[in-house]
């Protein structure tokens, strides 16, 4: 049933399932704001309703925590996010009514560190276990943003077929209690295929109203630092042609993609960059064994829980182009190069030889051949006979010479079809990315198969096919810290507070160890700044881990790459110390010696004792022209970039540093060149002491 107002749908939901509402809604982009806000308001006004919202990664317009940040974010958010609506349960998170609970399995990084309700209602789940855990919680309402097909007969889960399909299939099959599925149409959402494409009848209620076609959320692009570029440039050498790739979101992913495009299109410059930074000399064995530096002629296939927006550039540049097909024999023949995507008599012969089809074609055989373009789409099958569009009939028996020749001549297609260049679980990105998806020719858009995370983040149930799809798989993810014995810290702190969530990282790391040629690559900055103090991200041990040390593989910092797979603890510790910041190496060595993990006479090779930021920055200057701060553009104006840089400086300061900076700022006269920046922040003319101090402070940090 279709409705134009969310309140009506909410009343129908309660009639159908009662007042105990356990609502599942997707992570990130796929949440329907009007429906969720209406549910929230209904429960807020009626305490007899018990509302539990189960979700992850709630996206909200950014707002600052200080006067400077608020004035910076206000105009930016209005310009970039427009009419994107915030979620009431997120706005009022610190003051939820007693009958409303929000349960989440993934947070925006660091946002809820000090929010008790969020920390207490976090579920630690692998992404592949989320559907199971939702069912365990007794979910009886599934609501999601959807796209409507041009003929209005089908719906697409578009950005989020990751979990919803699995929950809906389970509830439909088992019918454990009354439940309801609700879709909200947004015409800005691209219509995607694969498992996202479902009959309209999948949903009980649909909200459709042009007033609710709000702008899709687009996370701002962050600048890519020199350290990030060092990491991404090294990572790009680990990608092997004709392989598979998974990339996480953020500046490290942007750096990797920019480096891959450089490798593809400007090979000479790329090699010069690698040589200039010593990356080839320092890692020649690892690069030869795992990756390469030549252009990717055959191209890559992407299987990533998040279809990151930078994949758009890899597709545009012809890097992601290797098609895979959901059929074991067909894919095996392609991998062995016994057939190509061009269909001919040999294609049919080899499928027959390898028992993919029977000589006397059955209806199942026919449907397989037609699905993948081996037979023309206009041909029909009836009782062992192929019927052409002109009415001519041919026996579907390949043992008969005459029939065989007629089939080859009149029935074979030209090219394989229904292949995929991407398997994605969900997507999120910039406005350009959404527009690109909407504008893609249908055939190319259909080659991006949106799927359940059960098909992407694990091998169970489809191991043989996935191993064929994911040859030379490379899984690139980010972690916060690494212990000296190779355990990774990616989602939380040792006091138990959650920074983000496990998500799919554990899944991909474990999968890399199961795939014959798979490798997991964890990228990490060697240091972090905590209120003016520099701390090492390589630590001796830590009170919380995300990836256990027995799954250690490749680790990259700006100071180098460490291959930890199959190595002893001594070798692992030595390799990680070699890529640690030199300000912390001696402390790590001493801790390892005390724990008897390295010999008492261990000495670090002098070539690894110059791991300092100023040294890599000096080296990078030689090639910096090829690595812009925003390789894929930004929604920030030049003015905002400069102001943002100043605000970042302030945020990194310790309390003492901030006090000293304020003192210096008050003594500094206002630079006339800074007037436009003060105007942008509403501080050209100040009112009161607080604004005057902020104006002086801004003038100081951007000068």
**C-alpha to C-alpha distance for 245 and 239, rounded to whole angstroms:** 8
Torsion of CA 565, 570, 571, 574, to 10 degrees: 120
pLDDT at 696: 85
Q: Which residues pair with 93 in a beta bridge?
A: none
Would you identify the CATH topology of the domain 2-212?
Glutaconate Coenzyme A-transferase (3.40.1080)
Residue 99 has pLDDT above 90, yes or no: yes
pLDDT at 222: 85
What stretches of 42-192 adopt beta strand conformation (E)? Answer: 50-55, 100-104, 141-148, 154-156, 180-185
Six-digit token string for 694: 């902020």
Structure-token match 């090639």, residue found: 623
Residue 442 sits at the vertex; the CA angle it makes with 328 and 155, to the nearest 5 degrees, is: 85
- Identify the sign of the CA torsion 363, 364, 366, 367: positive
Q: In CATH terms, are 2-212 and 226-323+422-614 the same topology?
A: yes
> What is the arithmetic mean of pLDDT over 93-114?
94
**C-alpha to C-alpha distance for 388 and 398, rounded to whole angstroms:** 16
Cα Rg, the chain, nearest whole Å: 28
Six-digit token string for 687: 């009112």
Instruction: Give rounded-to-5 percent helix, strand, coil for the chain.
Output: 45, 15, 40
Structure-token match 């028996």, residue found: 397
Specify whether the CB–CB gap between 27 and 426 falls below 8 A: yes
**C-alpha to C-alpha distance for 703 and 698, rounded to whole angstroms:** 8
Specify whether the CB–CB gap between 69 and 681 falls below 8 A: no
How many Cβ atoms sit within 10 Å of the Cβ of residue 230?
Answer: 25
> What is the arithmetic mean of pLDDT over 303-322?
96
Domain boundaries, the chain: 2-212, 226-323+422-614, 328-410, 638-702
Six-digit token string for 478: 């980010």
CATH of domain 226-323+422-614: 3.40.1080.20
Specify whether the CB–CB gap between 244 and 302 falls below 8 A: yes
**C-alpha to C-alpha distance for 183 and 238, rounded to whole angstroms:** 42
Share of the chain above pLDDT 90, in %: 85
User: At 691, is the pLDDT very low, low, confident or very high (cuts 50, 70, 90)?
Assistant: confident
**C-alpha to C-alpha distance for 305 and 106, rounded to whole angstroms:** 14
SS (H, E, C) 659-693: HHHHHHHHHCCCCHHHHHHHHHCCCCCCCHHHHHH
**Lowest mean pLDDT segment, chosen from 31-45, 397-411, 423-437, 684-698:** 684-698
pLDDT at 491: 96
Please give the mean pLDDT across all residues of the chain: 95
> What is the arithmetic mean of pLDDT over 100-114?
95
Specify whether the CB–CB gap between 281 and 274 falls below 8 A: no
**Cβ neighbours for 233, distance < 8 A, ≥ 6 positions apart:** 255, 259, 273, 274, 277, 279
Residue among 443, 448, 468 at smallest CA distance from 242:
468
Strands laid side by side in the 519-523 sheet: 193-194, 448-450, 422-428, 301-308, 244-247, 473-478, 519-523, 554-557, 560-563
**C-alpha to C-alpha distance for 252 and 525, rounded to whole angstroms:** 9
Six-digit token string for 359: 């000589």
Express each pLDDT in 220-255 by its tens digit: 888 999 999 999 999 999 999 999 999 988 899 999
Six-digit token string for 374: 């081996």
């Amino acid at each position: 049933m279709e409705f134009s107002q969310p309140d009506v749908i909410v009343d129908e939901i309660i009639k159908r399932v009662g007042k105990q509402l356990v609502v599942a809604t997707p992570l990130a982009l796929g949440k329907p704001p009007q429906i969720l806000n209406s549910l929230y308001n209904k429960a807020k006004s009626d305490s007899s309703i018990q509302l539990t919202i189960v979700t992850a990664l709630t996206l909200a317009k950014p707002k600052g925590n200080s006067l400077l940040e608020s004035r910076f974010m206000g105009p930016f958010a209005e310009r970039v996010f427009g009419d994107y609506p915030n979620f009431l349960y997120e706005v009022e998170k610190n003051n939820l009514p007693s009958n409303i609970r929000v349960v989440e399995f993934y947070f925006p990084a660091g946002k809820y560190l000090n929010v008790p309700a969020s920390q207490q209602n976090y579920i630690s789940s692998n992404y592949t276990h989320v559907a199971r855990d939702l069912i365990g919680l007794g979910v009886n309402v599934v609501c999601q943003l959807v796209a409507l097909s041009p003929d209005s007969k089908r719906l697409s889960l578009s950005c989020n077929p990751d979990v919803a399909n699995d929950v809906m299939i389970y509830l439909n099959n088992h019918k454990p209690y009354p439940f309801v599925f609700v879709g909200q149409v947004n015409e800005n959402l691209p219509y995607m295929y694969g498992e996202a494409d479902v009959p309209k009848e999948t949903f009980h209620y649909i909200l459709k109203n042009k007033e609710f076609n709000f702008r899709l959320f687009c996370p701002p692009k962050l600048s890519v630092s020199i350290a990030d570029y060092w990491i991404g440039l090294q990572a790009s050498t680990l990608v092997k042609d004709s392989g598979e790739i998974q990339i996480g979101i953020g500046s490290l992913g942007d750096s990797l993609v920019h480096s891959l495009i450089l490798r593809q299109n400007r090979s000479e410059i790329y090699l010069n960059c690698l040589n200039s930074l010593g990356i080839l000399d320092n890692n020649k064995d690892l690069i030869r064994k795992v990756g390469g530096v030549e252009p990717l002629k055959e191209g890559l296939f992407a299987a990533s829980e998040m279809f990151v927006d930078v994949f758009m550039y890899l597709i545009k540049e012809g890097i992601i182009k290797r098609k895979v097909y959901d059929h074991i024999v067909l894919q095996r023949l392609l991998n062995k190069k016994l057939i190509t995507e061009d269909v001919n008599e040999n294609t049919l012969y080899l499928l027959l030889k390898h028992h993919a089809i029977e000589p006397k074609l059955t209806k199942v055989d026919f449907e397989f051949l037609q699905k993948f373009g081996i037979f023309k789409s206009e041909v029909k099958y009836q009782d062992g006979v192929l019927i052409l569009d002109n009415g001519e009939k041919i026996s579907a028996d390949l043992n008969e010479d005459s029939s065989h020749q007629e089939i080859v001549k009149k029935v074979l297609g030209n090219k394989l079809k229904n292949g995929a260049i991407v398997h994605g679980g969900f997507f999120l990105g910039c406005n350009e990315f959404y527009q690109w998806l909407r504008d893609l020719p249908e055939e190319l858009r259909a080659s991006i198969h949106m799927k359940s995370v059960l098909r992407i983040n694990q091998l169970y149930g489809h191991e043989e096919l996935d191993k064929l799809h994911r040859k030379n798989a490379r899984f690139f993810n980010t972690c916060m810290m690494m212990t000296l014995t190779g355990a990774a810290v990616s989602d939380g702190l040792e006091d138990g507070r959650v920074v983000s969530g496990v998500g799919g990282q554990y899944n991909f790391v474990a999968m890399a160890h199961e795939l014959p040629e798979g490798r997991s690559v964890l990228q990490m900055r060697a240091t972090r700044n905590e209120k003016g103090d520099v701390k090492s991200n390589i630590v001796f041990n830590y009170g919380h881990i995300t990836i256990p040390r027995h799954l250690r593989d490749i680790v990259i910092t700006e100071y180098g790459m460490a291959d930890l797979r199959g190595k002893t603890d001594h070798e692992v510790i030595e390799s990680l110390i070699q890529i640690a910041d030199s300000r912390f190496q001696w402390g790590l060595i001493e801790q390892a010696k005390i724990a008897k993990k390295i010999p008492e006479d261990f000495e670090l090779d002098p070539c690894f004792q110059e791991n300092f930021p100023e040294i890599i920055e000096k080296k990078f200057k030689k090639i910096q022209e090829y690595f812009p701060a925003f390789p894929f553009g930004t929604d920030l104006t030049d003015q905002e970039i400069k102001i943002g840089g100043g605000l970042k400086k302030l945020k990194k300061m310790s309390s003492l540093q901030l006090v000293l900076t304020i003192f210096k700022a008050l003594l500094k006269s206002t630079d006339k060149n800074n007037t436009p920046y003060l105007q942008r922040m509403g501080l050209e003319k100040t009112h009161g002491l607080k604004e005057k101090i902020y104006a002086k402070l801004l003038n100081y940090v951007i000068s």
